[in-house]
Structure 1
Amino acid sequence: MSDSGPVDDTAFARLVFELNLMSRHFPATVRRRPGFALDRSAFLILTRLDLNGPLSLRELSEAFQLDISTINRQVGAMLRQQLVERVPDPGGGVARKIRATDQGMAALTADRRQRAAGIGSVVADWDAADVAELGRLMRKFNRSVEQIEHNPWPRPPQTGS
């Protein structure tokens, strides 16, 4: 699995267990906490639009590796909530693009703050080095998944150290 030798079966089993447990905690925490404006799909679509700018339904479908009808349904709900709008392709293409509205960006900003506060409360008593190390390892894990799926996810510019 790595250049440093085989992964210990116990360590690997613990990793699998903890990742499964984390996938249980995060959505449940968001649903239980009041004040979130966006559902999971709207949060992720707005995040992608924030990082990439306007995208077509096909580009969103490819980015999320979902059927275009699923993306169309999710974007349709977001259009009704005025979180996104259809705009002409800034590059002059035929397909219309989906762009976040000011209302959508405000909801995304609010939900990001809410999520950061929740995660902050979880790691409040951690050493800064542990927080940085978890972030580094999560980024490494996510990039490995993206490489296997041939589907890189854009990341915001790094701030600070």
Structure 2
Amino acid sequence: MSDSGPVDDTPFARLVFELNLISRHFPTTTRRRPGFLLDRSAFLILTRLDLGEPLSLRELSESFQLDISTINRQVGAMLKHELVQRVPDPDGGVARKIETTAEGRAALEADRRHRSSDIGKVVADWDADDVTELSRLMRKFNRSVEQLEQNPWPRPPHSDS
């Protein structure tokens, strides 16, 4: 056994460790897992579009803090699979907007059901108060990140409780 030096066992160090670990439970693509239809980028873009009005490529780029060429490539793949479509700006602007198609909504809902089922299995033996507390703390953490990045993410109306 090698000595890797002192272990930082502060609450903050444990938080950092656990946040690093959580990323291994959510692979970059779930399409390889049985039952999932969308890759990670499509799932996230469709989730964002589902929370509001159609968005331009620039608005999506700003929302995800990604280069517009990256968003353009990801949306291009989604257009090819008919998950999204280009529509005129509802406010009369020049830029066309991206909105979810019926096929995209169906795939998003199917993947949400799979994710919910998977997470439900993880917390099946948890007390309801623990699930509520984890949800509250995750929301608080995410909002703190959004505040630091000055990039708020819209939430469904029921998520503020």
**Which consecutive residues of structure 2, in runs of 5 or more, have no partner in the other structure?**
1-7
- CA offsets, 1:59-101, max 9 Å, x none? 0000000000000000000000000000000111000000100
CA deviation after TM superposition for structure 1 residue 29, in Å: 8.9
**Conservation of the 8 A alpha-carbon contact between 2:143 and 2:152:** yes
Q: 1:57-136, aligned counterparts within 5 Å?
A: 57-136=57-136
SS at match of 2:151: coil
**Conservation of the 8 A alpha-carbon contact between 2:51 and 2:154:** yes
> CA separation of 1:95/1:21 partners in 2, compared to 1, >3 Å: closer, same or farther?
same
- 2: CA distance between counterparts of 1:29 and 1:79? 18
- 1: CA distance between counterparts of 2:91 and 2:75? 21
- 2: CA distance between counterparts of 1:33 and 1:133? 29
Give, as a single letter, the amino acid of the residue that structure 1 aligns with 2:113: R
Identity among equivalent pairs (%): 80
- CA offsets, 1:22-42, max 9 Å, x none? 011122794663110000000
Q: 1:11-90, aligned counterparts within 5 Å?
A: 11-27=11-27, 30=30, 33-90=33-90
Q: Aligned pair count?
A: 154
SS at match of 2:98: strand
RMSD of the TM alignment (CA)? 1.9
User: Higher relative contact order by CA 8 Å / sep ≥ 6: 1 or 2?
Assistant: 1
Which has the larger share of helix?
1
TM-score, scaled to structure 2: 0.90
- 1: CA distance between counterparts of 2:72 and 2:21? 31
